[in-house]
C-alpha cells in the first residue's frame, strides 16, 4: 500500500514503493529592487570572501546565521562577479526569501538584480514549479526571458507547456496504481566565469554545486551542503551543460538519455543525467546505474601508505533512497568486510529490506525529527563517501550534488553529480556525516533502523 502524505512543509510518498519526493513549504514573497552595486559591493564591503575549494554546511537547528550559511555563500559569490563576468544558474524551486539583505540574512534576488545592473550577464534556468514564485516573476522583469540576450531567466516548460525537465522529458507510470512521475529539472548549481576577491585577486572558472534549493525550508528545516570549486576546466564542463539545458527547452523531446561523464582525468569529475536503462532491462534495473557500478569497484580490505591493513568505509547521506540495486550492493560490501553507514529521510521498504539479511545488517538511520511546532528537521543532503580501496586506488572519494538515490533522479530528471578525490574534502563531509547521523539517530523516533 502506498500512502501520500502532505502538509504545508512537504509532500512525499511513503510505503512499500517510494517513488519520488517533492518538497516543500516555499517562501513566495515580494522582492525589492536595489541600486547598482560595485565589486566588491559597497554596501557589503565588510562581508568576507566566499569560501572556495571547501564545503559549506548549514545547520537548520542552529542560529539564523548557521541556517543561512549556504545563502551567505551564494550572496558573496554573486557580489564578487566583476562587470564583465557571467553567472549561469540552474535551480529547482527558486524561491529565496525576501529579507533586509544583511550579511547574516542576504536577499539573493536583490543581489542578482544588482549584479545585472553593474554589467554581469545573469542567465538562469528554473524548473516549471518555480514559474509562479514571486522571486521568478521579479527576476523576469529585471532580466527578461529572451535566451539570446546577455541576461535572462527561463523555465524548462516555457516552449512546451507540459510537465518536463529541460533535457529530461520522460514520464514514467508505475505499475499497480503507483502513479505517473514526470521529468523535472532538479539542478542546484551556479557556474561563474570569474570572481574578484576583496584583495583584488581574480579567480577564473568557479563552480558552485549544492544539495540545497533556494527556499526557506532548505535553510531552516533541511540539512544541506554546498561545495564551491575554483577549477576552469570543471567550469567549462558546467558551462556546456547549462547551455544544453537552455537549448533543450526548444526541443519537444529533449534527450531522455543525455547521461554525460566528464572523465576521470581530474580530481573533479561531473556526471549529468538522465540515463536510460540498458536495452531489454526494466526501468528499475541497475546495469546503467553509475552508483551501483562505482560500488562494484570497491575492495573492502587494503593496505594504507604505512602498510597497515584497513577496511574500506562507505557512507551515504541522502534525502531519498529507493534504488534497491544500490542497497543490495551495499549489503554485499558489508558482508565482504566493508563498513557501511546509511542515513536518509525517505527510504523505501525495498531498500530497508535490501540493507539486511538473516546474518548481516547495514547500519541505517532515518532522519526526521521535530525541532519545534511546524519545524521538522530532515536530511536534504545527497552525498556518498568512500574511504579506502577503489579500483586500485586508496584516495578518498566524495560524491555530492543534486542527485538523490531515487529512480526519477537516474532515469528522468536533469541532475548533476560531482565526484571529488582527495582527503580534505572527504574530511569536511565526514565530520558533517558524523554530526548529522548522531543527531538524527538520537532525536528521530525509530531513527535507528539497524
3-state class (DSSP) for residue 296: helix
Concatenated DSSP letters of 164-179 = --SS----EEETTTTE
Please report, rounded to a whole number, the percentage of residues in the chain having pLDDT higher than 90. 89
pLDDT digits (tens, 9 = 90+) for 345-400: 999 999 999 999 999 999 999 999 999 999 999 999 999 999 999 999 999 999 99
Concatenated DSSP letters of 381-435 = -EEEEEESEETTB---EEEEES--BSHHHHHTSBEEEEEEESHHHHHHHHHHHHH
Phi, psi values for residue 229, rounded to 5°: -120, 130
pLDDT mean over 93-121: 97
What pLDDT score does 45 carry?
A: 56
Burial of 176 from C-beta contacts in 10 A (0-12 / 13-18 / 19+): exposed
Q: How confident is the model at residue 27 (pLDDT cuts 50, 70, 90)?
A: very low
Q: Quick one: DSSP state of residue 90? A: E
Q: Measured over all CA atoms, what is the biggest interatomic distance in the chain, rounded to whole angstroms?
A: 65
Strands 188-196 and 389-390: unpaired
User: What is the spatial distance between Cα 28 and Cα 9, in angstroms, rounded to a whole number?
Assistant: 13
Residue with cell 558546467: 238
Residue 316 is inside which H or E element, if any?
Answer: strand 313-321
What pLDDT score does 26 carry?
A: 37
Q: Which three cell numbers stand for residue 294?
A: 562505482
What pLDDT score does 40 carry?
A: 42
What pLDDT score does 5 carry?
A: 30
On whether the CB atoms of residues 126 and 155 are closer than 8 A, the answer is: yes
Quickly list H helices, 59-158. Answer: 64-67, 69-79, 108-117, 134-143
pLDDT digits (tens, 9 = 90+) for 329-344: 999 999 999 999 999 9
Q: Is the pLDDT of residue 65 over 50?
A: yes
On whether the CB atoms of residues 223 and 378 are closer than 8 A, the answer is: yes
What structural domains and CATH numbers belong to the chain? 2-248 (3.30.870.10), 260-443 (3.30.870.10)
CA–centroid distance for 449 within its chain: 25
Quickly list H helices, 216-372. Answer: 216-220, 232-248, 290-296, 324-335, 349-354
Neighbours of 282 (CB within 10 A): 9
What pLDDT score does 44 carry?
A: 46
> Which tops the pLDDT comparison, 90 or 3?
90
pLDDT mean over 261-269: 96
Please report, rounded to a whole number, the percentage of residues in the chain having pLDDT higher than 70. 90
User: What is the spatial distance between Cα 227 and Cα 319, in angstroms, rounded to a whole number?
Assistant: 18
Q: How confident is the model at residue 46 (pLDDT cuts 50, 70, 90)?
A: confident
pLDDT digits (tens, 9 = 90+) for 210-250: 999 999 999 999 999 999 999 999 999 999 999 999 999 99
Question: Helices then strands (H, E): number in the chain?
Answer: 11, 27
What pLDDT score does 37 carry?
A: 36
On whether the CB atoms of residues 320 and 13 are closer than 8 A, the answer is: no
Q: Is the pLDDT of residue 17 over 70?
A: no
Q: Is the pLDDT of residue 35 over 60?
A: no
Average pLDDT, the chain: 91
Q: Is the pLDDT of residue 39 over 70?
A: no
Concatenated DSSP letters of 242-269 = HHHHHHHTT-SS--TT--EE--SSSSEE
Q: Which three cell numbers stand for residue 220?
A: 531552516
Q: How confident is the model at residue 19 (pLDDT cuts 50, 70, 90)?
A: very low
What pLDDT score does 266 carry?
A: 94
pLDDT digits (tens, 9 = 90+) for 119-178: 999 999 999 999 999 999 999 999 999 999 999 999 999 999 999 999 999 999 999 888
pLDDT digits (tens, 9 = 90+) for 394-435: 999 999 999 999 999 999 999 999 999 999 999 999 999 999
Amino acid at each position: 500500500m502506498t500512502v501520500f502524505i502532505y502538509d504545508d512543509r512537504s509532500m512525499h510518498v511513503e510505503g512499500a514503493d517510494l517513488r519520488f519526493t517533492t518538497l516543500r513549504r516555499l517562501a513566495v514573497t515580494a522582492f525589492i529592487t536595489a541600486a547598482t552595486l560595485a565589486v566588491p559591493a559597497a554596501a557589503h564591503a565588510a562581508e568576507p570572501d566566499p569560501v572556495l575549494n571547501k564545503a559549506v554546511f548549514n545547520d537548520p537547528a542552529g542560529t539564523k546565521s548557521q541556517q543561512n550559511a549556504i545563502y551567505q555563500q551564494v550572496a558573496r559569490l554573486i557580489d564578487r562577479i566583476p562587470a564583465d563576468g557571467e553567472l549561469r544558474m540552474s535551480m529547482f524551486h527558486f524561491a529565496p526569501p525576501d529579507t533586509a539583505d544583511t550579511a547574516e540574512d542576504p536577499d539573493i534576488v536583490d543581489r542578482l538584480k544588482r549584479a545585472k545592473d553593474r554589467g554581469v550577464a545573469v542567465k538562469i534556468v528554473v524548473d516549471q514549479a518555480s514559474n509562479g514564485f514571486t522571486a521568478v516573476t521579479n527576476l523576469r522583469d529585471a532580466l527578461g526571458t529572451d535566451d539570446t540576450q546577455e541576461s535572462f531567466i527561463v523555465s524548462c516548460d516555457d516552449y512546451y507547456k507540459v510537465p518536463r525537465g529541460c533535457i529530461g522529458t520522460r514520464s514514467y507510470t508505475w505499475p499497480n496504481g503507483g502513479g505517473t512521475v514526470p521529468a523535472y529539472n532538479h539542478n542546484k548549481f551556479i557556474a561563474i566565469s570569474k570572481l574578484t576577491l576583496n584583495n583584488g585577486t581574480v579567480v577564473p572558472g568557479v563552480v558552485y554545486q549544492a544539495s540545497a534549493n533556494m527556499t526557506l525550508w532548505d535553510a531552516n528545516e533541511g540539512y544541506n551542503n554546498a561545495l564551491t570549486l575554483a577549477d576552469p576546466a570543471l567550469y567549462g564542463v558546467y558551462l556546456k551543460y547549462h547551455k544544453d539545458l537552455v537549448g533543450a527547452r526548444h526541443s519537444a523531446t529533449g534527450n531522455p538519455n543525455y547521461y554525460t561523464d566528464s572523465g576521470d582525468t581530474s580530481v573533479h569529475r561531473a556526471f549529468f543525467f538522465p540515463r536510460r536503462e540498458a536495452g531489454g532491462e526494466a526501468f528499475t534495473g541497475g546495469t546503467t546505474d553509475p552508483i551501483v557500478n562505482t560500488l562494484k569497484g570497491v575492495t573492502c580490505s587494503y593496505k594504507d601508505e604505512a602498510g597497515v591493513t584497513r577496511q574500506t568505509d562507505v557512507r551515504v547521506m541522502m534525502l531519498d533512497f529507493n534504488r534497491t540495486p544500490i542497497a543490495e550492493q551495499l549489503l554485499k560490501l558489508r558482508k565482504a568486510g566493508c563498513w557501511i553507514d546509511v542515513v536518509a529521510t525517505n527510504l523505501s521498504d525495498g531498500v530497508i529490506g535490501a540493507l539486511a539479511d538473516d546474518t548481516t545488517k547495514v547500519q541505517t538511520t532515518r532522519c526526521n525529527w521535530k525541532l519545534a511546532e511546524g519545524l521538522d528537521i530532515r536530511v536534504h543532503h545527497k552525498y556518498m563517501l568512500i574511504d579506502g580501496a577503489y579500483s586500485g586506488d586508496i584516495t578518498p572519494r566524495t560524491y555530492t550534488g543534486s542527485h538523490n538515490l531515487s529512480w526519477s533522479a537516474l532515469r528522468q530528471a536533469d541532475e548533476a553529480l560531482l565526484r571529488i578525490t582527495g582527503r580534505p574534502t572527504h574530511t569536511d563531509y565526514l565530520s558533517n556525516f558524523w554530526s548529522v547521523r548522531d543527531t538524527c539517530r538520537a532525536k528521530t523516533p525509530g531513527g535507528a533502523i539497524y
